[in-house]
Structure 1
């Protein structure tokens, strides 16, 4: 009986994960693009960028982010498993949200709710929610203040469903972009949302 090496087994597992990611269906307002993945963190990695478009025919985005799936068959101790997902999501919000003391908690709850809504098994969730308030002065004082929200998160998936984790993260990205949630099977009408 032939035995597989850990590296060939890890490559096969990663190939299956890639197929699951590529098969994930996301909202029509999202544009996903595969980009070079970090090469030093894990033996196997894939990275996707995402943009939430105001109009699918244009390049104007209201939110953007990055989703990275890492796989290391050696199961690094900090991960608590062989897989790790690392994400970033950013969107500009209405200026009045900048003063909300609960904005960070709300931003993190969007991630937890999205993972729960997709019935995902995961552990080791960690991250930050940052608000960036930009005010202009001097010759630029006529520009209105802007508020950006950034949600950076990572977690260890335990269920072998990376495509479902991608869909959950896309839900978070759409939420911070201000898009209303869509029930399964419903398609959003194109047009400006903000």
Structure 2
């Protein structure tokens, strides 16, 4: 359940605000691809009084292994920098083809994927910012037999328009599919039913 680790990893001196609990409960209704597994992980505690986090990773062997993090931060007091009380922070990292990594416009294309994912899920977002990083590595010497590896990493944050965060989690899942090199055509299920092999969401 999405509240289990929250109770052990955030400020326990304060009773969780109703808006924050409502936002977390809404996440459990998000419909996500079964190509990935999801689990609750500890969230940073130095950014806001209340926080929660999920991780994502490819379930099966894939040519483009993908993993990511989705974090929710909540401050009962208005945060000027966020222009709100909530802030979403997300990361997606995926192995990609060398040809794609070498494309001079791939960073802009990847950023456009995020906008497309937010639009597709109906997530109302403001104050959107982030980075797209392309990394390539090639082995030498004793490691030369290893094939070159290219990686795309996206980091972004934004302020949600309401406490219904399900569309934002869905956008994160759509973006993960894009970064993996696929179209989001796999069946979707409530994230609460897509448990990892070790933890429950």
- Residues 14-50 of structure 1: CA deviation (Å, up to 9, x unaligned): 1111110122221111211001111111111110000
**1:176–1:69: structure 2 CA closer, same or farther, 3 Å change rule?**
same
Secondary structure of the 2:53 match is strand
**Which ranges in structure 2 are unaligned for 5 or more consecutive residues?**
1-13, 190-201
Cross-structure match for 2:169: 166
Indicate if the aligned counterparts of 2:87 and 2:159 stay in contact, CA closer than 8 A.
yes
- Which of structure 1's runs of 4+ aligned residues deviate more than 3 A? 183-186
Residue equivalent to 1:31: 37
| 1:120 match: secondary structure | coil
Q: Is the 8 A contact 2:132 2:154 kept in 1?
A: yes
Which of 140, 161, 164 is the matching residue for 2:143?
A: 140
Q: Give the total of aligned pairs.
A: 176
Equivalent residue, structure 2, for 1:53: 59
Task: Give yes or no for contact 2:22–2:163 (8 Å, CA) kept in 1.
Answer: no
2:67 is matched with: 64
1:121-152 residue CA offsets vs partner (Å, 9 max, x unmatched): 21110000000100111121222211000000
Contact 1:134/1:147 (8 A) holds in 2: yes
Q: 1:185 to 1:145 in 2, by over 3 A?
A: closer
Unaligned runs of 5+ in 1: 1-6, 187-194
**What residue in structure 1 maps to residue 20 of structure 2?**
14
Once the 2 structures are TM-superposed, how far is the Cα of residue 61 of structure 1 from its aligned partner? 7.7
TM-score norm. by structure 2 comes to 0.81
- Give the CA RMSD over aligned residues: 2.2
Which one of 93, 98, 103 corresponds to residue 96 of structure 2? Answer: 93
Provide the secondary structure at the position in 1 that maps to 2:82.
coil
Q: How much has 1:178 moved relative to structure 2?
A: 1.9
Tell me what 1:4 maps to.
none
User: Computing the radius of gyration over CA atoms, which structure comes out larger, 1 or 2?
Assistant: 1
Say which of 170, 179, 186 aligns to 2:182: 179
TM-score by length of 1: 0.84
Aligned to 1:192: none
